[in-house]
Amino acid sequence: MKKYDRYSAQVISSPRWKVVRLLAKRRDGFQCVKCGAAGRLEVDHIKSVRLAPDLAFDLANLQTLCKPCHSAKTKIEVGFAPIDPRRQEWRDFVRALAHPKPKESLCLPL
């Protein structure tokens, strides 16, 4: 089994990280910089700690992302290809079929 090394483990467990993380979220308005979502947010290193350890606590190297946007970025970084736009269009279509929006009533109000 291949071991996955988290180069950022030491960074994100430090007290300094908690302060810088909060500053990044405040700067980004407590929203995902990619899609604007709020709620559960993660602070991401734009240039990874593995490639640029000197930028680990640099606020300019941090961005606030929601869980789905962070996961998508991480998948690409570890070698997975981005989803083909046609495949994403199909996924969106199937999702819309599974969760239809309520139809407006054609009846006139009394």
Burial of 47 (0-12, 13-18, 19+ CB in 10 A): middle
Which DSSP helix (H) or strand (E) runs through 64? strand 62-66
2 pLDDT more than 60: no
pLDDT in tens, 67-101: 989 998 988 888 887 788 899 899 889 988 887 76
Q: Which residue, 57, 74, 56, is CA-closest to 65?
A: 74
What does the chain come to in residues? 110
**Residue carrying the six token digits 């490639």:** 51
pLDDT in tens, 21-55: 999 999 999 999 998 999 899 999 999 888 899 99
